[in-house]
């Protein structure tokens, strides 16, 4: 019963969903960047275990962290994925609306721009974002072809 809400006049529900998706962009970007730092660190870290411990009592515990752990458990280096993350439109609508309304949303805006940048090449954070989208929404991701870097 708590998974839905009547928000009021026509269009308000779509507006709330658009903002939800913008927040999702920012959260996923932060998770991807954090795990990229861990992945590239000098330490031999078990990233699935890190995600697991963060999801038990940490202030950043979330379903997205759980899904990151699931994805990293399947492929710790995400070597089977391309780091290309498509923008489905909602993030752009959020940014355009904020600009039109004079509201500053730098994290969501930069997260959208990072999705556009991901089209230029693979990063670990891009791979994790792609893996997260596959985990929670069944979104299609680009996989690496056999024998290619």
Question: Could you report how far apart the first and last alpha carbons of the chain are, in Å?
Answer: 47
Task: Report the distance separating Cα 127 and Cα 145, nearest Å.
Answer: 15
Identified catalytic residue from 17, 74, 96, 120:
17
Is 17 tagged catalytic?
yes
Structure tokens that stand for 89 in this block: 């439109």
Is 24 tagged catalytic?
yes
Compute the C-alpha angle 39/60/116, nearest 5°: 60
Give the residue numbers annotated as catalytic, written as ranges.
17, 24
């Amino acid at each position: 019963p708590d998974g839905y809400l009547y928000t009021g006049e026509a269009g308000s529900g779509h507006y709330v969903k658009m903002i939800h998706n913008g927040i999702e962009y920012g959260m996923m970007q932060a998770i991807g960047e954090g795990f990229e730092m861990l992945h590239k660190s000098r330490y031999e870290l078990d990233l699935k275990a890190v995600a697991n411990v963060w999801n038990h009592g940490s202030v950043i515990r979330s379903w997205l962290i759980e899904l990151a752990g699931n994805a990293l458990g399947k492929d710790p280096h995400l070597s089977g994925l391309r780091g290309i993350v498509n923008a489905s439109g909602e993030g752009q609508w959020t940014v355009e609306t904020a600009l039109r309304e004079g509201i500053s949303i730098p994290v969501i805006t930069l997260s959208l721009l990072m999705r556009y940048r991901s089209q230029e090449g693979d990063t670990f954070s891009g791979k994790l974002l792609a893996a997260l989208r596959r985990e929670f929404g069944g979104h299609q991701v680009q996989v690496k072809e056999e024998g290619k870097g």
